[in-house]
Amino acid sequence: MKLFKVSTLIAISVASLFNGPTATCAKKFVPTSFVQRTNLLDTPQRVETLTQTASLSKRGGSAVAVKPSARTLWSYYSDMMITVLIGGFTCLWFKSLAANNKDELGIGFPFFEKSFLANGFCNKVYENPGTGGPLTQKFCFYADCVMVIASYFLAKSRGKETNLGYISMAIYTIIHGVIHYSVFRIPNVATGPLTVVGTVMLSFVMILCPMALYSVLTVAPQTKNKGVALPISAVTWLVSVAVYYFTFKKKDYALPYINVSVFLVMYSAKTILLGLKDDDQIAARDAFDANFFKNYGLGQLATYFVIVILICEPIYCGSWFGNAGGHLLFDIALYTFLMVAALG
């Protein structure tokens, strides 16, 4: 799933065309692609609708102040917890890189596995790998194909086989699988120092991060309609690319870096800007979450599934995670997330 392939950029472009110019990753970010079911351009209008009660109260009307529901409270504290988890994961990553450079890398928590730091994936070790690269990459290709075929029948049973969100999700996953197969055939295709061309391609993929932030800024009461959402998002884009270029300097870690960046930026922004301080923030959070998943509860489970797998892969690759299938588990978690997002 190396991200410095032209096919990856094609996948992201397809998803962008199907879902609107501003919201592809803002709502669904996946680790390289979080395909959006609805357009977040509609979110400001939904926020205005949800804040009518609060507005009446401020004008002296009879409406009472908005109180956060149980789901809103869960949403807020869940965002906070995800921010802490991803932030801690990032700290472990830097700690592991520093220890690895000094040849002081430990085994197990709180360090990443040496094999992950070397490959960028958790490749399950097989006794008879045969020719080519790690078999985990080939199995990921097979799994992606099987999951797309199975999801087609599920989508058809719900009359959603022509849904643009589903189609873009399926296209991305097929290309995703092809990239895995290319890594199997040519193991060093996306390893080594980060070149100028690689940096340019990374900058295109990294647009997922500022788009996630932009979707929050355009609905948050503190920043919407103030002309700051686009400039802040643009600066975030440049900073995120610069951090990778000067810190990691290798192509190997592009995938986990993009995943971590999108999650960390979006959920920290939601925690800070869509809090519980006043009616407007509560209404904006409810509107944002309503656009996130059709089935909010199932969407939360899918989100945590991806996050847990993302965190466990580099830490427990040498033990139970690797024995259970390695990076194949991440592909399953990712596709589960996408299918819940697209099909509800």
Among all chains, which residue has been given the structure tokens 């899918």?
A: 302
Distance CA 85, CA 49 (A): 33
Residue 65's alpha-carbon distances to 32, 62, 271, in angstroms, are 40, 10, 21
- In this predicted structure, what is the pLDDT of residue 118? 82
Residue 156, amino acid:
K
Per-residue pLDDT of the chain (344 residues; tens, 9 = 90+): 444 443 443 344 434 433 443 333 334 444 443 434 444 334 444 445 444 444 444 444 434 456 889 999 999 999 999 999 999 999 999 889 888 888 888 777 788 988 888 878 888 765 455 544 578 888 999 999 999 999 999 999 988 888 887 888 888 788 888 878 888 888 777 677 888 877 887 888 788 789 889 989 999 999 998 899 999 999 999 999 999 988 888 888 887 888 899 889 999 999 999 999 889 999 999 988 888 788 889 989 999 999 999 999 999 988 889 888 899 999 999 899 888 888 87
Cβ atoms of 218 and 43 closer than 8 Å: yes
User: To which residue do tokens 């609060």 refer?
Assistant: 54
Helices (H) and strands (E) in the chain, counts: 16, 0
- Enter the pTM of the model: 0.73
Chain-centroid distance, C-alpha 60: 43
CA dist., res. 305 & res. 308, Å (int): 5
Nearest to 338 by CA among 144, 85, 180, 81: 144
**Taken in order 114, 330, 13, 258, is the CA torsion positive or negative?**
negative
The per-residue pLDDT for 56 is: 41
pLDDT at 125: 63
